[in-house]
Amino acid sequence: MSTAVSPLAPTSYPDMPEIEGVAFATAQAGIKYKGRTDVLLAKLAEGTTVAGVFTRSKCPSAPVDWCRSILARGTARGLMVNSGNANAFTGKKGKAAVKLSAEIASKALGCAEDEVFLASTGVIGEPLPAEKFEGVIAGLAALEQQATWLEAAKAIMTTDTYPKIATVTVELDDQSVTFNGMAKGAGMIAPDMATMLSFLFTDAAIDAKVLQALLSGETDGSFNSVTVDSDTSTSDTVLLFATGAATARGVAPVTALDDPRVPVLKAALGDLMQNLAQQVVRDGEGARKFIEVQVEGATSDASARTIAMSIANSPLVKTAAAGEDANWGRVVMAVGKAGEPADRDRLAIWFGDVRVAVDGERDPDYSEDAASAVMKKDEIVIRVELGLGEGTARVWTCDLTKEYVAINGDYRS
């Protein structure tokens, strides 16, 4: 397992405002890792609403099944997350482990079992020894030793080289309303969907149906627009909790999608999710380059997105980036294989500000030096103009390095 922090990691962590109605505690349950925290308990105020989006995998983990089964209720009082074991493909033992986890957490939090959301991340196929939660979670009940956002984010890491947190504050009814979030994920990252765990919290009071619409609406442009390796986890989970604590400060509850404040919330949530999604790519296993792929002029946004993902997932494009090789022919290849409308002879490609190809051939002013200079940077923008329509997309990925192979050739956790 890699230990050095990704060179693409943010250089500092944001100051995270408190979100009233959310309290964290972490502990060492010893599920797999030694000498670090591996379980996170979040206590949520009464009245907290919840929304969720989950992996589209046909082989989801037991905790994903659990979250889906209790989501309709729309309210939550707790969240328990462990790292080191995904409780995925664990059959009846997996269901029993989920049941025991919910029991332990609900007893500690003083709420019903189906008010506790669960997530697990780590190795697939190993039974989760949920009984290990018993002692440590009971001890956290009082939540006297409250953990910070950073500590909470650290407890849910697996191959992550740094914890991922972000915050956005907006004005609502002349009051500050906050969205805070955390995420984990470094491999098995691809769209459909989040390919990792992310937990988002706000103190706004938002009706569960509105909350779900907001979360679902912002997923495509954030967590579904990043890819490390085109692999989709069995455990992908994004949960958004709204404690409603801001009502005490005079922020009226949001109960309908046509509320004029919804666009403000939507923008804030979108920013938060895009920030966290990009942090996941920046921690992509073995990543040394952060790559933004922009596709313009497609016949539709969906078509642009398919083409952008074809480029972002291409091993040949990603290895070229690793080798700092301005190999735009591989971008042509990836456009061509996407199966979407494209006209070879209208295609133009940029690396950064350098146009390398136009009208279906190499740019007449092509400069290998200029293109190579772009490739040497830590952050690379690849832009493709199809010249067919108005469809656009923007997705993020990282390069494919020998370290990715090394990490995944050894890693079993």
**Which stretch in 20-28, 31-39, 218-226, 402-410 sits in contact with its own copies by CB under 8 A?**
402-410
Binds its own copies (CB under 8 A): choice among 36, 68, 337, 376: 337
413 annotated as ligand-binding: yes
Shortest reach from residue 119's CB to its own copies, in Å: 16
Which span sits near its own copies by CB under 8 A: 44-52, 152-160, 174-182, 359-367? 359-367
Q: Active site includes 195?
A: yes
* Selected binder of its own copies within 179, 290, 328, 350 (CB under 8 A): 328
Q: How many residues sit close enough to its own copies to count as binding (CB under 8 A)?
A: 73
Please say which residue, 182 or 349, places its beta carbon nearer to its own copies: 349
Residues 78-107 that bind its own copies (CB under 8 A): 86, 88-94
Instruction: Give the H or E element holding residue 380.
Output: strand 379-385
| Single residue of 68, 73, 362, 376 touching its own copies by CB under 8 A | 362
- Rg, C-alpha atoms of the chain: 22
Does an H or E element contain 50, and which?
Answer: strand 49-54
Judge whether 253 and 368 are in contact, CB under 8 Å.
no
Locate 251 and state its tokens. 């922020």
Q: What burial letters (b/e) apply to 323-341, b meaning 16+ CB within 10 Å?
A: ebebbbebbbbbbeebebe
Q: How many secondary structure helices (H) and strands (E) does the chain include?
A: 11, 16
Collapsing DSSP to helix, strand or coil, 120 comes out as strand
**Rounded CA separation 335/266 (Å):** 32
Residue in 124, 137, 155, 194 binding its own copies, rule: CB under 8 A = 124
Residue choice 75, 247, 319, 392 for contact with its own copies (CB under 8 A)? 319
DSSP, res 393: E
Q: From CA 16, how far away is CA 334, in angstroms rounded? A: 40
> Are 1 and 99 spatial neighbours (Cβ–Cβ below 8 Å)?
no
Q: Is 85 annotated as a binding residue?
A: no
230 scored as a contact of its own copies (CB under 8 A):
yes
Give 46 or 343: the residue with its C-beta nearer to its own copies.
Answer: 343
Q: Between residues 152 and 388, which has the closer beta carbon with respect to its own copies?
A: 388
Annotated binding residue 158: yes
- What is the rounded CA–CA span in Å between residue 134 and residue 359? 65
Q: How far apart are CA 409 and CA 385, in angstroms?
A: 37
Q: Tokens in use for 137?
A: 């979670």
The token pair at 270 is 């979108």
DSSP output for 41-65: EEEE-TT-EEEEEE---SS--HHHH
Catalytic entry in 55, 195, 227, 397: 195
Is residue 66 involved in binding its own copies (CB under 8 A)? no
**What angle, 0 to 180 degrees and rounded to 10, lies between the N-to-C axes of helices 301-313 and 315-322?**
60
Q: According to CB under 8 A, which residues from 40 to 59 bind its own copies?
A: 55-59
Q: In 285-351, which ranges are E strands?
A: 290-298, 348-351
Is residue 194 a contact point for its own copies (CB under 8 A)? no
The answer to whether 338 contacts its own copies (rule: CB under 8 A) is yes
CA distances, 136 to each of 26, 32, 101, 107, 132 (Å): 9, 15, 12, 13, 7
Could you tell me which stretch among 21-29, 291-299, 319-327, 377-385 binds its own copies (CB under 8 A)? 319-327
Binding segment toward its own copies, per CB under 8 A, in 3-11, 19-27, 289-297, 394-402: 394-402
Which one of residues 126, 160, 207, 283 is an interface residue with its own copies (CB under 8 A)? 126
Q: Which of residues 259-318 bind its own copies (CB under 8 A)?
A: 313-316
Write down the least CB distance from residue 25 to its own copies, Å.
29
Q: Which stretch binds its own copies (CB under 8 A): 23-31, 107-115, 200-208, 227-235?
A: 227-235
- Considering only residues 42, 347, 380, 398, which one is a binding residue for its own copies as defined by CB under 8 A? 347
Please identify which residue in the block is written with the tokens 């627009």: 225
Q: Which of 161, 224, 327, 397 lies at the binding interface for its own copies (CB under 8 A)? A: 327
Residue numbers annotated as active site: 195
